[in-house]
Chains A and B, each alone.
Chain A
Amino acid sequence: MTVKTDATFGQATTGKVGMWIFLITDAMTFGGLLIGYGILRAGNKSWPVPSEILGIKFTALMTFILICSSLTMVLGLDGAKRGNRREAVKWLLLTALGGLFFLGGQVYEYSHLIHEGFTLPSGNFPATFYVVTSFHGMHVFTGVCYLLITAAGVAAGKHLDNGANFVEITGLFWHFVDLIWILVFTFIYLL
């Protein structure tokens, strides 16, 4: 099947442009949550210092895992573009594994924080922290499912046509998840 392109966006397929439009709307949702966090924080002089409550080193490791998974994603796309099915599947599965490690880290972090009394109703900081990070975590979970479905399709000999357009669209979603985490890590953990 040939995927149509629109002259307005050059060689980007309609699927890719559609994914970009979805990602922009999703970014607005994250933007709204982060702005809400910013307003509550700016309007409260007794807001706690996040680095004194949250484990920065552990979260930095989780960030590094997501960065690694972005690398494996582009290597998977590179393999798919070259028509190397085996390599594409290997890197896609490693990307999904990176996502699962991240989710495991988030579960560990939450259980540790809840044990310390940092619960959802215990204040504005924990409430906004859990809403933003769990919303991102749901994106990671969706991304892992998306990656596994794509890897299964590639293993079955699909998705390598049209310059591996399907794999590239999957990659756009995964890189977006990484990009959002870069901002969440800075605004919620480090600032």
Chain B
Amino acid sequence: MSDHPHAAVIHSADAPPDAHANHRRDYFRIFWALGILTIIEIWFATLKIDRRAVAALLVGAAVTKAALVGLYYMHLKYEKRSLLWLAAVPFPLAGLYAAFLMLDAHNIIRAITLPWK
């Protein structure tokens, strides 16, 4: 069985009509949230503040949007925890991997370009 009480509802074709109405309402809420976050992102990109702060704001907004799509539209919120972990664990690891590689970007670029120098 799933960990979430709604899981049985979302996967059942025999779910009561009000459960479907609730899901439809959630779908529209997430749609508006994604639209508003996109507008906020574009506003963040125009801010004349430190670029690192802008980058942090943009990455935060993008991760929030991606999480909303994953949790509500891809129904991870209603799946068993094991499936949620299966999907969620690689992403922070990839982020860490990217961060470490980018910190060393100058050395990597030099190593790549050396044979042609």
Listed in ascending order, the chain A residues whose CB lies under 8 Å from chain B are 8-12, 17, 20-21, 23-24, 27-28, 31, 34-35, 38-44, 51, 56-57, 60, 63-64, 67-68, 70-71, 73-75, 78, 81-83, 160, 163-164, 168, 171-172, 175-176, 178-179, 182-183, 185-187, 190-191
Contact = CB atoms under 8 A, between A and B. Distances in A.
A78 B24 contact: yes
B90 interface: yes
A116 B115 CA distance: 32
Contacts of B87: 20, 23-24
Q: Chain A contact residues: over half helix, strand or loop, or mixed?
A: helix
Interface residues of B, number: 52
B79 to A, nearest CB: 6
A67 B13 contact: no
Nearest to B110: A43
Contacts of B102: 35, 38-39, 42
Contacts of A12: 79-80, 83
A45 to B, nearest CB: 9
